[in-house]
Every structure is written in C-alpha cells, then in structure tokens.
Structure 1
C-alpha cells in the first residue's frame, strides 16, 4: 500500500530545509535582553526581598532548623532499673521487720518500669471457714435461710456455706464463707516501710542511632559513686527517692499520701543529640513528673495498690499480703 504525506510535512523534511536548520544552529545564538530601571522604590523592594530570602535560608533553615542534617527515626533503646536500700517496719506485735530490695521491688524485673512498696496491709490467712467481711452489706443476716438464698454475691470473698453466724446477745450476724480466712480488711491501718525515701534507683539506658552507626549510654566513662542533683550533678544516673518525690510534688501532705496510698511517677530521658559536635556530648537530660491525679482532686480509686500473694508455708498456713505502693515508671523520649 503506497504512503502519502501531507504537503507541510514534505516541505519540513526536504533537504534544503534541513540544511538551513543546521546552518542556523551553528551560526546564530540568542541572549536575553536586560532592561535597567532607574527607580528607588522598586530597587529597595527588590533588595529587601532578596535579604529576607537570604536570612530565612541561612538563619532559619540552616542554623535554627538545621535543614542540612539527617534525622534518625529508627532509634533503638533499652532501659534497666535497679533499686537499693534497706527499710523496716513494725508489726502489730511491735516486732521490727527488715525489708530489702527483694521485698519491696515487686515484681523483680519489668520493662522500663519498677514498683516500689512504701506501705502495705498484711493479712495472714489460711483456708478455712469464717464469717464474711463486715464491710459487705449483702452478708448481714438474721437466719440461715437468708444465706442460703443469697449465696451468689459478686463481692463475696468466698463460697457461702448457707449458715448465718450470730454472736451471743446479737440479733444479726454475717453469713459464713469457705475460703481464705480471716477476710482481709482494708480499713485497718497500713504498715509503713520506714526509710523508703532513702532508697536509690539506678537507671541504665542504652540507645542506638542506626542511621549514624552510633551507640550511647547514660553512664559516663569516668563514672564514680554519685547521686543525681539538679544543680550539682545532672548527669548521674542514680536517683534518691526523696529527690524524685520533691521534684514531682511540692506539697508535703500530697507526698505523705503518696507514700501511704501509692502514686504513679515518671522518669523521662530526653536525648537531644547533635552529631555536628563530638559524640561524647550526646547525653540525656532527666526530668520527673507525676502521672496520677492529686488526692484532693481524685474522687474515686485514690492512689495505686494491688494484691500480692506471698505463699510462705508455716504449719500449713498460707499468708496473703495486700501490698500498697507507688509505681515509678521510666519513659523514653529521643530527639535527634
């Protein structure tokens, strides 16, 4: 089938036209035309705009925002915490009980957090039958029939046997339960761990910046025995509990209630590292804060506490301890 080209295409690709294009390309060139304007107003406007753009690029983008730097968003961090100190408490029989780290740190190891017991309610219990808690209204009874028909209370401390235990010269009593006896009583005074404010917390933090192949730790190479102080030793990774309490709460009454009822405290590490300088200048800045609500503002579930079972066997008796303690949590924050 024959090919037909339109007339303009034939004119464009003929031999004479191609020779002319090559000749023009070799012998001709173009240059922009510059027009000079003599105007003070427009000249000042131009120079001010140029200066503003220059200052923005140098002062903000390069110096302040460091736009020439790379930032590492894949930071890897690990935190371990160790608590030391000896505390003591006095039992109901006025016996001195020594408490060390194995007793007041529960559990022994956590991920970036630690629990420190500063007060507790202890109830020695054994499996037997006894009356229900006096604080449980549903357990009040006047006959066995009542306990037999109401034996499924969600707040019961054990399985009700169906008997109503009424003391002599009384018209009402409490339903009998089968479980851990005697029932724990949160209204009894808690035992305080004395000298708890002198406990020390050793915080060890390792951090890696994969983008820059840099690994740092919060422990100095020339590390010596020390205790953190905001004015005299800001880099020491050993913190006294009293210093932390003073930093997070300035009211003495609130601090006392935190030790008695529990609280939640954070230790924050800010890594703001600029690798334009020597890598040894990359060190954390410590800060402290209280995460739970002040007791005067909290209306429900004040403080922090939980039950912990110490199953020490003595003449087939198992002891149950209800521990109340503050929680100290270490939180990481990395800024490159």
Structure 2
C-alpha cells in the first residue's frame, strides 16, 4: 500500500501528460479549419481590438451644464406694443440644463378673486340644479356656487375672474422674434478614473472668439453659441409650427474620447433631436400636442390682490451629456487575448465533427483518433489481464 501511494504521488508530481494528436491529410477538412481560424482571427483583430477597443478600459464622466440665453422679443397685440427680455421669456431663470423659451402666450389681465360665470362648453347649465354647490368640474376654473348664470347659461364659480379663455391659440405665434435668440452653453466634464477634466471651451476658444462665432456643424462645430432658429432647424422641426403650440428639443453633447492620444483631441460633439412638437407626430390620437404651462404675476392694486395670468407655449430645451473615455489597460488586453485564443478551439470541434460523422472514411478516422482498451479480469483479486486493442 505504501509503495502504491508513493508511486501515485511520484506520478502526480513528476509526470506530464499531453493529448494525443493525429495529423489528417484531407484538403476539405484542412480548408474548413483554416477558414474558421481566419474568421476567428478577423473577429479578434477587427471586432474586439479595432471596433470595440478591447485593449482599453472605460470611464463615464461627471458633468455640469450652465446655460445663458440672450435676445429681445417684440410683440404688437391689438395695438399694444411690448418688449420681452430674458427675465420675461425664460423659465426657470437659473440657467439649468433644462429650460423653456416662451414663443407664444395667452394673457388674461387684471384677474381678481370673486364670483363669475364659467366659459361656454362643458360648464353649460339650464338651471341651478345643473350646478352642484361646493363642487368643481375637471374642466372648470373654480369652486361652483350652485348658481346658473342665465345671461351666459353657464355655472357661476368662485375663482380668479374673469376666467381664462384659452380656446383659441394665437397664430402666427406672438414671439416669432424668438428665432433670433442665442443660447450659450458651458459644459465641464471630469473622468474620475483617469483624472481628466475637460470643458467645451477647448483650446482656441476665448472671449474674442465667442463674441463673434455662431455654431455651424461643419464650419464652426466647436462654437458654444447657438441660434434658437438653427437649433430648431437642425432638430428637424419648422420654427413657426413648433412655436405655435410648443414642443421639446434635445441637445446631446457627446464626449467620446480616446485618452491614448493627447488630451487636447478630447472635444465635444453637438447633436440635436426633435423630441415632440411636430403636427405629424406618431401619436395619431392628437392628445396633448405641444408644450404649455401657466404662469401668474401677482400684484396689489388699491389694496386688492390681483394677478396677470399667462398660458405659456414654448420650446423646452433639454441638454443631455453623453460621455465615454477609453485608455489602454493591460488587464482587459490580456482578457481579450485569452478569450480569443479560447475561441480558436471552435475550429477543432467543427473539424472533429466533420471527420467523425460526415466523411465517408469516418470509421477509419475514428480508429486513428481513439485508442480503445478492453479489460478482461482473470482473477477477481488480480489487476492483471487487461488487453489493449485498436479498432
């Protein structure tokens, strides 16, 4: 027993086993093997290393966006002239990455809290019984008093009076001059893994350049100043159409950087996408087309609280930062090489299947590849008597 254990340990530590190989001279199988290996090699080099950059590690950026709108709008509604500046037409005013530029509006001035009749339509009535006191309708403007106003045949409500009439949206839009507004975008990104910080104000962009440049996808692709009309056009919309009822546009700032080269080549790429606002939107139900919200300016007049209500139609701008930085790393490189070498085994498996199951001489190839051993024990207590045969 001791000698058997010693021999087993000796065989384990001091012997090396290698698989048996059979060289098969067959043109068809050889061509199949080389084609598979060539395909695997093309996959490793072309897809893994060149296209997917399998030799690099990746990181996404921590980003900050600051915006500033400039421009003056002019309206002349029923002989009333007015100039609109940034404080009037931008919501919210903090310079966020998501904001709304007002392009059209419905204004209801000098509203006071009181009792007044509703608009005709869903709030019609023929008697007080049609106006449930203490309730309000979903399409209504206030708290119903239970009175049916006979002059208008609508329910009386406690609300801001006179109630807003938004059934007709002004066309053409009041603020068509918004097409000439300019948007300044300042964006900073940091790739924490690589310790790299970049700004869209890259090398060569200074105060003198910004004061005279205007973004153009081919002639001036790095200028951070964008004309609102150009943004709408590059997103695939018509300005007058989207300005009428409002809509939304996405501005994507793409930071795709290869940090194996000089960091100065890491520059932003701007893309523009129309999100919604076209009359030919996919939504065939035409439900809630456009973009709008209400905004009230409160004030006191003769100690009476009043307000001016605006239903604002505008273009919502969403600035989205997309980032991916790559840099060489030995660990993903070795991983990619190792997985590629393992895939080469596919050629062996396919060729073995062809040899052993598809070719006319498959039995001959089986006998050459496999070595069969038959054991015929002569004595139950003996380990001798095994014979080895080849088929």
**Is the pair's TM-score, using the shorter chain for normalization, greater than 0.5?**
yes
Which of 108, 122, 130 is the equivalent residue of 2:107?
122
Distance 2:307 2:18 in 1: 99
Q: Which residue of 2 aligns with 1:180?
A: 160
State TM-score, norm by structure 2: 0.69
The structure 1 residue matched to 2:92, chosen from 82, 107, 110, is 107
Structure 1 portions without partners, runs of 5+? 1-7
Partner of 1:327: 316
**Alignment equivalent of 2:63, drawn from 62, 77, 83:** 77
- Corresponding residue number in structure 2 for 1:233: 220
Specify every segment of 5 or more residues in structure 2 that has no aligned partner in the other structure, as ranges: 326-391
Correspondence list, 1:77-226, <5 A: 77-92=63-78, 94-109=79-94, 111-142=96-127, 145-146=128-129, 149=132, 151-154=134-137, 155-167=139-151, 173-190=153-170, 192-223=174-205, 224-225=209-210, 226=213
- Among 256, 266, 276, the alignment partner of 2:240 is 256
Distance 1:308 1:152 in 2: 25
Q: Secondary structure at the match of 1:152?
A: coil
Counterpart of 1:326 in 2: which secondary structure?
Answer: strand
Task: Give the drift of 1:319.
Answer: 1.7
Q: Return the offset for 1:320.
A: 1.8
Give TM-score scaled by structure 1 length. Answer: 0.80
Q: Tell me if structure 1 keeps the 8 A contact 2:203–2:264.
A: no
Please state how far the C-alpha of 1:220 moved relative to its aligned partner.
2.1
**Contact 1:132–1:156 (CA<8 Å) still a contact in 2?**
no
Distance verdict in 2 for CA 1:104–1:51, change over 3 Å:
same
For residues 268-314 of structure 1, what are the alpha-carbon distances to aligned partners after superposition, in whole Å with 9 as ceiling and x for unaligned? 11211111211111112111111115324441111100111112334
Q: Does 1:63 align with 2:50?
A: yes
Counterpart Cα distance in 2 of 1:71 and 1:82:
32
1:222 is paired with a residue whose SS is coil
Structure-2 separation of matches of 1:278 and 1:151: 71
1:281 to 248, 257, 265: 265
| Paired position in structure 1 for 2:350 | none
Residue pair 1:81, 1:114 contacting (<8 A) in 2 also: no
Partner in structure 1 of residue 357 of structure 2: none
Q: How many residues align?
A: 309
1:209 Cα deviation (Å)?
0.9
Cα drift, residue 99 of structure 1 = 0.5
Helix, strand or coil: the match of 2:234? helix
Question: Cα RMSD between the aligned structures?
Answer: 3.1
Distance 1:47 1:310, change over 3 A: same
Query: Are 1:308 and 2:290 an aligned pair?
Result: no
Identify if the C-alpha distance between structure 1 residues 41 and 177 changes in structure 2 by more than 3 Å, giving closer, same or farther: closer
Q: Deviations over 1:43-70 (max 9, x none)?
A: 6666555544444433333222221111
Cα distance in 2 for residues equivalent to 1:164 and 1:123:
23
The alpha carbon displacement at 1:71 in A equals 0.9
Deviates more, 1:31-40 or 1:180-189: 31-40
3-state secondary structure, aligned to 1:61: helix
Tell me how far apart the structure 2 counterparts of residues 63 and 69 of structure 1 sit (CA, whole Å). 11
